[in-house]
Structure 1
Amino acid sequence: MRAVDLKMDELLDFRPDEGTVFLKDTRVLIENADAFGALRKDLISTLGFERAKGFLIRYGWACGRNDAFNMKDKFKWEDELEWEFGGIALHTLEGKTKVDHDIINIDLKKKKWLLKGRWTNSYEAEQHLHYIGTHNSPVCWTLIGYAGGYASVFLGKRVIYKEIKCLGMGAPHCEFIGKTEEEWGDEIASELPYYEEMRISEELEAAQRRIQLQNQELQRAFAINKKLTELVLNGEGMNGITQTLASIIDESVLVFDNRIHLITTHIVSKQKYLSNLQKRIKDTLKNIMAVPGKEQEYNTLITRKVPLPLRFKIEGFILSCVIYPLVVGNEILGFITTVKNKDEETSTDSIMAIQHSTSVFALEIIKQKSIVDLEQQLRGDFLESLLFDNKTSEESMYAWALRLGHDLKGNHSILVFDITNDQFLKDYTEEKILLLRKDILRFSDGFIKKYYPSVFCGIVNDKYVILFPQTGDGVIKNDLLEFISSINERFKRHYPKMILSMGVGKIVASIDQYPGAYKQAAKALDICHNFKPGKVIFYDELGSLAVLIETQNKAELLNFMNEKLGPLFEHDRKYKSNLIETLEQYLESSSIQQTSKKASMSISGLKYRLGKIKELKYNLQSQQERFDLQLALKIFKLVQVECGSEKPSS
């Protein structure tokens, strides 16, 4: 028989009536991996790392020896090597890890043994990360014990396995080497005591040393935590915390918010290609957070809050990264990423510093959010008084605005905007929508403060309101259009699935004009939602339409437009003509000569088109007919598709 022919469903014999399970007549147990993780945690807490490591290595060694004897006796192998490979196959079938070999050099006659390979999805490393976190040395203790015990029975000589890389240290997988004790020489001497049971006196001495080490680690941890916490209390901010952490661990540190935007970074000396690495890390995080099929990485990073190790090859350099989540309750605040270009173990002090820093970063983010939320509440109260309450004096309003960092004197435009997408938000709860609105306001506020510090932004009545001042001698509308274009571009980049609509009221010059201008902007926004979602409407450009239009009679307006302009739509569509455009130009100019100049058209050509319009039963001499047509054209202009080739219908 060959090892590859082993099938678990053929090996196991379930006997539910007896409450037993057998593997080729040898009773076995089916255990929960999480239960082993909890037991491992208790062993480490009770015995300490060193004694727990020895205990689990010896346990794994015993399991490996027993399986080696059983596999030899229960199967007829094609040759002796298949017996050895049978143990490897059994390890994989039991779900403990996936084993891949890179080098196999076994000589039974000369009693030589060299076996190198990888363990992928080690259950032991995963449980250690889940219950304890990353460690500065390999943690797959039962696996190395098992491999050594099995190989020793097979070779008839003591074989010791050693992990050289481990998932529990932040590596992408585990790597091991197995050699005879003799071939290892002095290199393995420090590991041999774990294979022997210690006498009580030795255990007491070891316990004393362990307590001293733990006390030293505790003092260092306290010092690190104190240093990082003082940065928050002293108002050093994200930059100060990041710089301090990077200096402690001697690694580059990148901090991202929950939208995966880089907040701050500190790059240690002689570390290259960080700009390319930033993009790779951001792409990785975006895939984990948004792409289907990444549930395992998401659960590891967010649900279980386990650091995610990554390795990137950039221009020939291998960079090792570890992503640490910043999660409080069910809210994702952001991510810390540490980067090093040395293939070496992370020290205990560095691990402690990173673990403490996650709490400090989370505290700083919550602190900054609280400040922003309070400021936004104060701005909302101010806007509510400015736009709806006529009881506060002008002097008080000017003073109130100055306390909030804004000068109300001078001309202003009021903008009201909203970001919507009913299809996208249909599955959102009210709480999630509220969080999204807060996030949008924080983003708007941050963008405006950075690039347009003289602009005021806040929320009132669930609408985003912007007070845009005239600066210098410039034309306020030109500045306003530039601002709208800039903020629209930013929103499309950061909220690609949302639709930004905006209404703009008339320019105000005094406090008493703000309520009216706000109503105008709000009405323009309502019209925008109904007729031109994702666009900007200026109230003063609506003309007479602003007086007549109400958002709830959209169907009636469209019916009126189609009734008045329907024959022209049909003619232009059928004959590919431009009678609608000609009619609009003629009604604006009121004379054939002026229309001819404006349209760059000969008088005879214009008269021909006007004749066609008259043939369609339009009386351009009637004042009422002209008014109706102008109103219908305004409605058409409001709802027409920008390319101009499609005509709306009711």
Structure 2
Amino acid sequence: MAILVKDALSLDIMKETKLLAGENGLDRLIQWVTIVEIIEDTSRLSEGELLVTTGFGLAENKERRVRLEELIQSHRLSAIAIYKGVYLTEIPATLIEAAKSSGIPLIEIPSHVNFSDITKAVLEQIVSSQLHQLKYSSAIHQRLTHLNVSNKNVTQITDELAHLTAANIVVLDMFLHQTAAHLVKDEVTYSPAFGFVTDREPIETTPLLNQAEEKGRLVYDTYGEFVLAACPVIAMGDIFGFIVSLKKKEVWHHLDAIAIEHAGAVYAIEWLKQKAIQDTENQMQGHLLDDMLQQQYTEESYVVEQARKLQYDMSDEQVVIYFQFQHQHTQLDHQMVQRLSQLLTSIFERKHIPFLLKARLDSIFVLTPAGKKAFRETEWYSASEECRSTWSYFFPVHPIVIGIGRAYDQINLFAKSAKEAQYAARLLPLLKTDESIIHYQKLGLYGMLLEMNEAGMNLHDFYVDLLSPLLYTKKQGADLIHTLEVYLAHNENIQKSAGELFIHRHTLSYRLKQIETRTGCSLKSTDDRMKLQLSIMAYRLSGLLDQMRTIS
């Protein structure tokens, strides 16, 4: 609770003062007045203080002058007022320059103006402002709280906040997706990519949103003729989203900040209500989808009826999408899976895509209608890609991979689609691709080997006779299997293969001869190369499947 520097300068006691620098900081808030004779320990000064000093020792003591310059540049003070004619005949030019560069108002006070009169006048205004703000805060609290008890939704709360502040208001979820907005027509628009767009130029919101998240409170700054404010919506220690406000500087008042902060609590209550409802729906969806994937049902008609109660139509072909954290060995916070579930729900609902969702410890299954288009052209593929890219932006150290199973129209085959989606995601490391989304149908020969494995064939038997002589060399330090794999991947190109292996071409040629000798295969033979390629793939796949069983 405070007054603006420009309001303090308009007081009768301040009429003979002179603003030397820092005109851009006249909208800074004064929360208290501190009088200091000698500039010594500046660490005791708090943010938002108006510092009044006689300037004792500043003319002849460079150390004190530098200390005050550093204090000005730290932006802790709301303003600084220095007496002229007591100890200083002129205010030092270096202090004026520091105030200019930092935007902190520097005020010159004539010697005949009394300390106590300034303190009394400014503090009276602060106290008066406090009383006014308390009344306003109470009124805003009652008005906004009434929205909660009247069961108003986020859009209605946003309309009311925009009416109270006469500002452009946009509400974002934790992933910065717009959930509600009230914008002044023909004045401004909002774009997720740029932020607010006025008739002059875009006003980027991301830097201020980052500040609001870091500080955990409302922050605002001036952008040209506008004031941009960002306030996190916090509940139970978590940030659920943000309120972003844009208003012309000439009509902005710090009371607007109070209204926005109060609205933050109202949004938090509303989002907690929505979260409780969504958690219940997700739980019901999860139970049903789990029953289908585990095939724990007696009658398919029961599954169809339960899906109908959840407003989910199972009459068309369905596909399972599997979202998995890429680093499975990393210990995951339960909240990470919950956040991924929230992101999926938000995107699929915004795109009006029907879905059932089941979250597990380190992954999520989603069942959705397959549609008639090629999978890359479907809405659900687009939604999955948006989820992956958004997650990568917010949580780059916890990347996700996405597997897609084949589409089936029989309930008893949905479990097969889920298994295929799991395989697709977990086999990505073997595919030597930069993609993070893979369809089971794109697994190529690995898909064929998986089908053979599912049919009961032992992959170990498929490769052991041919590759056993090469496996022994790996223990001795020469990985002939990797050498062969790289050579075949580069279509038998010696130069490219040697470059990737970081060995000389002669060394590579020697290894290739060893491979031919040990396996009895000729690398010039198309059939032999195919046999070796399939054996290596079976070897890699067998190792990955063993690893998957260990993790499970």
- Partners of 2:317 and 2:229 in 1: how far apart? 52
Q: Please, which runs of 5 or more residues in structure 2 have no aligned partner?
A: 1-36, 91-98, 197-201, 471-479, 497-520, 543-552
* Counterpart-to-counterpart distance in 2, 1:633 and 1:249: 67
Residue pairs, 1:295-444, within 5 angstroms = 298=211, 301-302=212-213, 304-313=215-224, 318-328=225-235, 330-343=237-250, 346=253, 348=255, 350-421=256-327, 430-431=332-333, 434-444=334-344
1:280 CA drift (Å): 4.2
**SS at the partner of 1:323?**
strand
Q: Is the 8 A contact 1:418 1:464 kept in 2?
A: yes
Distance 1:630 1:373 in 2: 48
Q: Does 1:30 align with 2:41?
A: yes
Amino acid aligned to 1:33: R
Structure 2 residue aligned with 1:536? 438
Kindly report which structure 2 residues correspond to 1:382-531, keeping only aligned pairs within 5 A, or say none. Answer: 382-421=288-327, 430-431=332-333, 434-460=334-360, 462-471=362-371, 474=372, 478-479=374-375, 482-483=378-379, 485-496=381-392, 497=396, 499-531=399-431
Q: Are 1:224 and 2:140 counterparts?
A: yes
Cα root mean square deviation, aligned: 5.1
Look up the SS of the partner of 2:108 in the other structure.
strand
The question of 1:281 aligning with 2:214 is answered no
Please report how far the alpha carbon of residue 406 of structure 1 lies from its aligned counterpart in structure 2 after TM superposition.
0.8
Distance change in 2, residues 1:456/1:303 (3 Å):
closer
Amino acid paired to 1:444: L
Match of 2:492 among 549, 569, 572: 572
| TM-score, normalised with respect to structure 1 | 0.55
Deviations 1:606-648 (A, max 9, x none): xxxxxxxx9867596xxxx899579459769999xxxxxxxxx
Answer whether contact 2:368 2:380 (CA < 8 A) is retained.
no
Provide the residue aligned with 1:113 in structure 2.
none
Alignment of 1:5-16 (within 5 A): none
Q: Does 1:97 align with 2:76?
A: no
Helix, strand or coil for the counterpart of 2:493? helix
Deviation at 1:228, TM superposition (A): 1.4
Cα deviations across residues 550-599 of structure 1 (Å, max 9, x unaligned)? 999799689589889879778832599xxxxxxxxxxxxxxxxxxxxxxx
Residue aligned with 2:368, SS: strand
Q: Is the 8 A contact 2:173 2:241 kept in 1?
A: yes
State the distance in 2 between where 1:230 and 1:325 align: 21
1:175 is matched with: 105
Aligned match of 1:121 in 49, 70, 74?
74
Q: Distance in 2 between matches of 1:556 and 1:626?
A: 13
Q: Is the contact between residue 246 and residue 268 of structure 1 (CA under 8 Å) also seen in structure 2?
A: no
**1:270-312 CA distance string (max 9 Å, x none):** 63476555364334247x4xxxxxxxxx5xx456545433232
Taking structure 1 as reference, are residues 559 and 264 closer, same or farther at Cα in structure 2, changes over 3 Å only? farther
Q: Quick one: distance in 1 between partners of 2:66 and 2:402? A: 60
User: In the TM superposition, what whole-angstrom CA distance separates every residue of 1:190-217 from its partner, at most 9, and x where no partner exists?
Assistant: x99943879xxxx9xx89x978x87665
Letter in 1 for 2:71: T
What is the one-letter code of the residue matched to 2:318? H
CA separation of 1:395/1:571 partners in 2, compared to 1, >3 Å: closer, same or farther?
closer
AA matched with 2:268: A
How far apart are the structure 2 equivalents of 1:217 and 1:400? 53
The whole-number CA distance in structure 2 between the counterparts of 1:465 and 1:419 is 12
* 2:323 alignment partner AA: F
* Alpha-carbon distance between aligned partners in 2 of 1:571 and 1:384, rounded to the nearest angstrom: 44
CA distance in 1, matches of 2:116, 2:38: 31
Contact 1:306 1:324 in 2 (8 A): yes
Counterpart Cα distance in 1 of 2:250 and 2:492: 72
Identity of aligned residues (%): 17
Q: Do the aligned partners of 1:412 and 1:469 also contact (CA within 8 Å) in 2?
A: yes
The answer to whether the Cα contact below 8 Å between 1:526 and 1:551 also exists between their aligned partners in 2 is: no
Question: Residue 155 of structure 2: which of 239, 259, 276 is its match?
Answer: 239
The aligned residue for residue 255 of structure 1 is 171
Structure 1: segments with no counterpart, 5+ residues: 1-25, 41-55, 72-82, 99-119, 126-139, 158-165, 167-171, 183-187, 289-297, 577-613, 640-650
Equivalent position amino acid for 2:401 in 1: S
Q: Map Cα deviations across residues 494-549 of structure 1 (whole Å, 9 max, x no partner).
A: 13346553434444333333334433433343333554573414269623542238
Going from structure 1 to structure 2, the CA distance change for 1:151 and 1:235 (only over 3 Å counts) comes to same
Give the Cα separation in 2 of the matches to 1:570 and 1:192: 83
CA distance in 2 between counterparts of 1:174 and 1:418 reads 51
Q: Is the 1:414–1:468 contact (alpha carbons within 8 Å) kept by the matching residues of 2? A: yes
- Report the AA paired with residue 438 of structure 2: V
Equivalent pair of 1:415/1:505 in contact (CA under 8 Å):
yes
CA contact (8 A) 1:91 1:97 kept: no
State the alpha-carbon separation in 2 of the partners of residues 410 and 27 from structure 1.
Answer: 81
TM (norm. structure 2) is 0.63
